[in-house]
Amino acid sequence: MTSSGSLRLAWRVLTTTALLAATTGSGPITGELTAGLTAGLAAAKTVSYRGYRFSVPRSWPVIDDTRLRGGCVRFDRHAVYLGPVSSDQSCPSGLLGTTESILVQPGQMSGPVVSEVSQVARQVTVRAPGISVTATFGADPRVIYQILASAGLPAPTHEVARPQPAADLLGRVLAGSPAAGRPVTAPPLPPTIGNYSGLGFDTCAAPSRRNMRVWRRASRYRAIGIYIGGADRTCAQPNLNRAWLRAEVVAGWRPIPLYAGPQADFGELSAPTKQGRAAAIDAVAAASRLGFAPRTPLYYDMEGFPPIWNAVALTFMLAWTRELHRLGYLAGVYSSGDSGITDLVRHYRRHAGDMPDVIYIADWNGSHSTALKRLYHLWWRKRIHQFTGQRTQAYGGITMDINKDFLDMRQGGAYASAFTSQQTSAVNLPDGSTMVFYLRPGRQLWLDRHTRSRGWTKPVPVGVRAWSAPSAVWTGSAVAVFYTSAAGHLRVLSYQENGQLAGQGTLRKMGVISLGPRAVSQPGGAIDVFWRGAADHHLWHSQFTPGSGWSRAQDLGGDLRAPPSPVTSSPGSTTVFWAGTDNGLWLVSRGLSGTWSRPRRLKVGLVRGPPEATAQPTGGIEVFWTEPSSQGLREGFAAARTGWRGPRDLGGELRSVPLPVTSAGAVRVLWLGPGHHIYYIEHRAVRNWNASAWTDPATARHSWASSAPFAAVGGQGRTVRIFWPGREGSLWTATLTGTAWSRPYNL
């Protein structure tokens, strides 16, 4: 992130032109070049490394990375770098742009030779016995091809990254009866990890884990900008991989994924719409490799530029935004407040085109705030302000060259409703509609929808018979519904947002289910499904990951007496509760590290019926159950820092499993009570368990029920849509706003 792009561009054009003065034609350089280099490399020197001999321009410096203490492997100047890159590079934060440069490192001693080029990222990668080559180029890769040919390495083949939209992938995988044979891996990092307001920084190369650990302890920074790719990404990234990213997120860092593609100020935007789409596709491919889930904002680094490029740069940024949205990711744009951001603000005022979801503005005024006058007060509520640039700062003896940022990334709206945090048969969608699935006599599965414009539609049979209650989740792009077949196999249906069936399949390789299934989803589209196995009564799990499909079934242990109760809390934590065969309350959990804990029994006494849990907006979890000695409601509470508290007696007289649901900061618990009426209590002060005040149990009028109620999960606002079975198999619904019930409606 810098403002000196024009000087660097002039230097790069001159040097590139000199190297290519004698080359003609286009496309990969063939084996004919091994006999002799063209005039552009006539004045060459030979560089030897691990048995390979490269002919490179005599003017290029040859740098031994093993002796480059405190240095920086940078691709904005002609050089040959030899050896592994240090994890503790000292790179200026203002670097941007690439030219012809080559890095040769040790590689695996065996395996096939792989040679690839990305024209979008302007990068060539080669893996050959003993070495690994990374090379960049400014406009034409032919000089790099010549250097590779001189060492007997093959010409690259073109590689085009074309990720599929998340909605298309989900429907296709479900419709094709997935094989479910992939090993269980950590799910993608949910976009809620970016739910942070405070100080951050960005730097050219991702720091080492040691340096990140020191700064985490000694500084106030909690967010870091990292360059995940792009044709003008200057610095080598030896630390930046999937393991590094997850470890830093677990440690508490909040990443800002930046993409440094073609720049307006460098004169690189010749076809802005096409280039904007291509950059977005390449950015999504890079983000997916690192483990960023869909709905994560990806930020384009568009440095400052003169007014002559306003229209071209705006066209590029809008194409970037549209393509990211099509692929299921959110769009961010970093630029100067005097150029790119000003153009977006003007375009926003005309209410035309697709706007980025997040603005990352460079305005070096030193203010630790995102309340900038030029952005006005209500536009782009999710913002990042780079308030100081290119400064050296030290903490704990570790010095870095950084740009300083202030973030206001409190996620709400679509983020809050982009997943299903607890087991349910009905889901609210971000557009305000509701889809409810339920069983009618004969085990027939039915669907009903409620939209803001039409109200309740006519119920329709799905056309399948289910041997379990349905479990539905909203993934951010589709609704998935799980149930068991007559043979006890896991079945799944996929629905579009408009209620149209997109696909269905049977996951036979999951084995036979005796209780369940129960499903939850995460922001970003990952789905976790849990059930009790038929042969061993253990808790079993499978995971759907966008881009990968279904994992094989995973045995999580335990001995279940009742169906499991999973709950997902923010950010990225999943906990599963169950009543054990010993009548104890048990759980397993998985945090951002991606690994499941061993089964653990909570010291809360005995459990009579299945426990049910709900997650709070702050990340806490509340679980509810009844004891064998009474029919009263019991509560336990867990917070990330304080651990488990409880149990606490909330009173009441339960004739069913309790139904907890969280909406707009309030937790409500409903159940079937005496007289076949629905009872409920409410509790709003969710931040402090000890001081929270529950209302007295109250009954909903006109709410005769034959069994336990259920609720639609997700969405916004304090209104909760409640469902319950009535007489003769009828299904009723009503809304609960605060303590006010609407009149019941017979579906």
Q: What is the mean pLDDT of residues 665-693?
A: 79
Q: Residue 696: what pLDDT?
A: 86
**Residue-level pLDDT at 693:** 76
Q: Is the pLDDT of residue 394 over 90?
A: yes
User: 516: which 2 tokens?
Assistant: 């369940």
pLDDT grade, residue 717 (50/70/90)? low
CA 164 to chain centre: 15
- What is the pLDDT at residue 167? 53
For all residues of the chain together, what is the average pLDDT? 86
Average pLDDT over residues 360-378: 82
What is residue 452's predicted lDDT score, i.e. its pLDDT?
A: 85
* Residue (of 618, 614, 610, 694) closest to 652 by Cα position: 694
pLDDT one-digit tens code per residue, 516-534: 999 999 888 899 999 999 9
- Mean pLDDT is lowest, of 72-81, 313-322, 447-456, 640-649, for 640-649
- Tell me if domain 198-408 and domain 426-746 are identical in fold: no
Distance CA 357, CA 318 (A): 11
Q: Quote the pLDDT of residue 347.
A: 82
| Residue listed under structure tokens 């589709």 | 478
Q: Measured over all CA atoms, what is the biggest interatomic distance in the chain, rounded to whole angstroms?
A: 96
Mean pLDDT across the stretch 687-696?
67
- Are 426 and 434 in contact by the 8 Å Cβ rule? The answer is yes
pLDDT the model gives residue 19? 37
pLDDT tops 80 at residue 376: no
- Beta pairing partners, 591: none
> Which amino acid, one-letter code, is at 274?
K
Do β-strands 223-229 and 197-202 pair in parallel, antiparallel, or remain unpaired?
parallel
At 417-431, the pLDDT tens digits run 678 999 999 999 888
Instruction: Give the whole-angstrom CA distance, residue 408 versus residue 360.
Output: 10
**CA 502 – CA 496 distance, rounded (Å):** 6
596-639 pLDDT, tens per residue? 999 999 988 889 889 999 987 677 899 999 988 888 899 998 87
Residue 59: what pLDDT? 94
Is the distance from CB of 360 to CB of 1 less than 8 angstroms? no
For residue 725, list its beta bridge partners: 731
Query: Mean pLDDT, to the nearest integer, of 229-246?
Result: 97
Superfamily of domain 426-746: Fucose-specific lectin (2.120.10.70)
| pLDDT per residue as tens digits for the range 142-193 | 999 999 999 999 988 767 666 766 555 455 545 444 455 678 888 999 998 9
Q: Can you give the pLDDT at residue 519?
A: 97
**Average pLDDT, integer, range 554-575:** 92
Q: Region 194-204: what's the mean pLDDT?
A: 94
Q: Which segment of 72-81, 172-181, 235-244, 733-742 scores lowest on mean pLDDT?
A: 172-181
Evaluate if residue 265 carries a pLDDT over 70. yes
Higher pLDDT, 497 or 378: 497
3-state helix, strand, coil in the chain (%, to 5): 15, 35, 45
Q: Which CATH architecture has domain 198-408?
A: Alpha-Beta Barrel (3.20)
pLDDT of 438 strictly over 80: yes
CA dihedral over 233, 354, 408, 668, signed as positive or negative = negative
Alpha helices in 153-241 (DSSP H): 166-175, 209-218
pTM for this model (two decimals): 0.90
Kindly state the percentage of the chain with pLDDT values over 70: 87
- Asked, as a colleague might, if the bond just before 571 is cis with ω within 30 of 0, I would say yes
Q: Name the helix (H) or strand (E) containing 648.
A: strand 643-651
**pLDDT value at residue 351:** 60
Who wins on pLDDT, 411 or 277? 277
Which pLDDT belongs to residue 3? Answer: 45
* pLDDT at position 415: 53
**What per-residue confidence (pLDDT) applies to 747?**
85
The full set of domain ranges for the chain reads: 5-158, 198-408, 426-746
**Residue 690: pLDDT band by 50, 70, 90 thresholds?**
low
Question: For residues 548, 553, 556 and 559, what is the CA-based torsion angle, rounded to 10 degrees?
Answer: 150
Q: What is the predicted pLDDT for the residue at 571?
A: 79
